[in-house]
């Protein structure tokens, strides 16, 4: 298949692995003192394990899995609030499939559906808008989730609803942004990261200069990467070469998809519909300043928080603890690997997930379970 097979070429991969090996040795990376590279995006985590890249690269390179899975970082209180909205009479609550099984403190959306709430899986916010047009006597709510990759589609849908005057449609907004949690991780003295593989899809929307602060203020290299195995190997090589050469820059390995300055149409839609919240709660990371988005007052008629009196959910999220025995927060912040969680693969597995990292297709625990779950526990810290 064109544009896929050439990025899975074994000869190309072997050549890149040899160059990674040489660069790692030049830096002096060893198993005991590894170069720690965080892949921010959950899609990259899955690609690394799917293709066994963690086992192919030099032993002195350690992948730290970042918080780039939007379902995984959603606080339980926001799931509770989604259930609260969905269980109100007359509501049709719509969501992407990923979020249906994420546990709340009382129940997941799937359990609420089994209990009688009208909750439907959709493939895009436009499907939810269609449902609102078809059911004018019902309130249709879309569970707006995700980073800058999905934010433009909900923004454009709200604009469309406003143009058409579809008054029974709203979005429960949980959109979040990538740069603030990276800054929070860099400010954490325990993280000790040497470089980053930057997200490909998010960067398609925001461009590469949103990461300038990583190189400028923290002196760390970041390479925005594609998702095929040779994309990731080349990105790791580019990070190592920057370290070897004493450089800290923002580089774009995924130039075939990511424009330097992002997508102006998407950015304009986001700016029109959303504004930053003062702070937002992240599972495992706590409150992070200016990391979440809310619907602007001019679109308040399409804001489910306003319509259902949910208020500022992040304030309530602080009071909600994770279930006993789960180590989601430590995995989320890269302090332990998923196999270091006592529940991994036993109580917590894809059939009966205890934490969101096992639920989402982009979660680190799901990736470990699917591709390498039988390894010995490894403690990073």
Binding site for ligand SF4 (CB under 6 A): 326-328, 331, 338, 341, 343-344, 348, 354-355, 357-358, 365
Question: Which of 187/376 has CB closer to ligand SF4?
Answer: 376
Nearest distance, CB of residue 146 and ligand SF4, angstroms: 19
Task: State the burial class of residue 110 (Cβ atoms within 10 Å of its Cβ: 0-12, 13-18, 19+).
Answer: middle
Give the number of other CB atoms < 10 A from CB of residue 97: 11
CB of 72 to ligand SF4, least distance (A): 8
Q: Which residue is nearest to ligand SF4 (CB)?
A: 355
Question: CA–CA separation, 325 vs 316, rounded Å?
Answer: 22
In the bound state with ligand SF4, the residue whose beta carbon lies nearer, of 65 and 277, is 65
In the complex, minimum distance from the CB of residue 333 to ligand SF4, in angstroms, rounded to a whole number:
11
Q: What is the 3-state secondary structure (H, E, C) of the chain?
A: CCCCHHHHCHHHHHHHHHHHHHHHHHHCCCCCCCEEEEEEEHHHHHHHHHCCHHHHCCCCEEEEEEEECCCCCCCHHHHHHHHHHHCCCCEEEEECHHHHHCCCCCCCHHHHHHCCCCEEECCCHHHHHHHHHHCCCCEEEEEEEECCCCHHHHHHHHHHHHHHCCCCEEEEEEEECCHHHHHHHHHCCCCCCCEEEECHHHHHHHCCHHHHHHHHHHCCCEEECCCCHHHHHHHHHHHHHHHHHCCCCEEECCCCCCCCCCCHHHHHHHHHHEEECCEEEECCCEEEECCEEEECHHHHHHEHHHHCCCCCHHHHHCCCCCCCCCCHHHHHCCCECHHHCCCECCCECCCCCCCHHHHCCCCHHHHHHHHHCCCCCCECC
Closest CB to ligand SF4 among 179 and 353? Answer: 353
Closest to ligand SF4 by CB, 112 or 327: 327
| Minimum distance, C-beta of residue 281 to ligand SF4, in the bound complex (Å) | 17
Hunting for tokens 């469309």 — which residue is that?
Answer: 160
Residue 23 or residue 336: which is nearer to ligand SF4 going by CB? 336
For the record, the structure tokens of 294 come out as 């809310």
CB of residue 348 vs ligand SF4: minimum separation in angstroms? 3
> Closest distance between ligand SF4 and the C-beta of residue 86, in Å?
23
**Residue 339: CB minimum distance to ligand SF4, A:** 8
Separation CA 352–CA 337 (nearest Å): 19
Shorter beta-carbon distance to ligand SF4: residue 208 or 341: 341
Minimum CB separation of residue 119 from ligand SF4 in Å reads 22
**Which residues pair with residue 62 across a beta bridge?**
36
Show the tokens assigned to 125: 């916010």
For residue 84, the minimal CB distance to ligand SF4 (Å) is: 24
Residue 282 Cβ vs ligand SF4, minimum distance, rounded to whole Å = 15
Which C-beta is closer to ligand SF4: that of 331 or that of 380?
331
Q: Which is nearer to ligand SF4, 27 or 356 (CB)?
A: 356
* Minimum CB distance to ligand SF4 smaller for 58 or for 78: 78
**Smaller CB distance to ligand SF4: residue 140 or 359?**
359
End-to-end Cα distance, the chain: 41
């Amino acid at each position: 298949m064109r544009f896929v097979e050439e990025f899975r070429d074994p000869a190309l991969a072997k050549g890149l692995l040899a160059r990674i090996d040489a660069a790692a040795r030049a830096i002096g990376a060893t198993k005991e003192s590894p170069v720690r590279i965080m892949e921010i995006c959950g899609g990259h985590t899955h690609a690394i394990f799917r293709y066994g890249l963690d086992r192919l690269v030099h032993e002195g390179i350690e992948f730290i899995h970042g918080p780039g899975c939007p379902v995984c970082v959603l606080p339980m209180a926001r799931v509770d609030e989604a259930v609260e909205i969905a269980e109100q009479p007359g509501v049709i609550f719509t969501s992407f499939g990923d979020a249906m099984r994420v546990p709340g403190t009382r129940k997941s959306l799937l359990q609420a559906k089994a209990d009688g709430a009208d909750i439907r899986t959709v493939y895009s916010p436009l499907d939810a808008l269609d449902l609102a047009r078809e059911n004018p006597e019902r309130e249709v709510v879309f569970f707006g989730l995700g980073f800058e990759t999905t934010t433009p589609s909900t923004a454009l849908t709200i604009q469309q609803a406003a143009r058409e005057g579809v008054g029974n449609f709203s979005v429960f907004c949980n959109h979040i942004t990538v740069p603030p949690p990276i800054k929070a991780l860099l400010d954490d003295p325990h993280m000790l990261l040497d470089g980053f593989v930057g997200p490909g899809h998010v960067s398609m929307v925001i461009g590469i200069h949103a990461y300038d602060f990583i190189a400028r203020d923290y002196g760390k290299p970041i390479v925005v990467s594609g998702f095929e195995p040779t994309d990731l190997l080349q990105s790791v090589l580019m990070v190592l070469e920057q370290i070897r050469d004493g450089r800290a820059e923002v580089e774009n390995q995924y130039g075939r998809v990511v424009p330097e300055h992002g997508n102006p149409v998407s950015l304009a839609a986001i700016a029109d519909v959303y504004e930053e919240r003062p702070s937002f709660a992240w599972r495992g990371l706590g409150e992070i300043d200016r990391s979440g988005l809310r619907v602007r007052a001019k679109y308040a008629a399409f804001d489910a928080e306003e319509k259902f009196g949910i208020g500022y959910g992040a304030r309530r999220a602080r009071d909600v603890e994770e279930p006993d025995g789960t180590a989601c927060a430590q995995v989320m912040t890269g302090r332990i690997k998923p196999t270091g969680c006592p529940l991994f693969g036993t109580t917590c597995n894809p059939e009966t997930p205890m934490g969101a990292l096992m639920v989402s297709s982009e979660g680190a625990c799901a990736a470990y379970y699917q591709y390498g779950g039988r390894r010995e526990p490894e403690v990073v810290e």
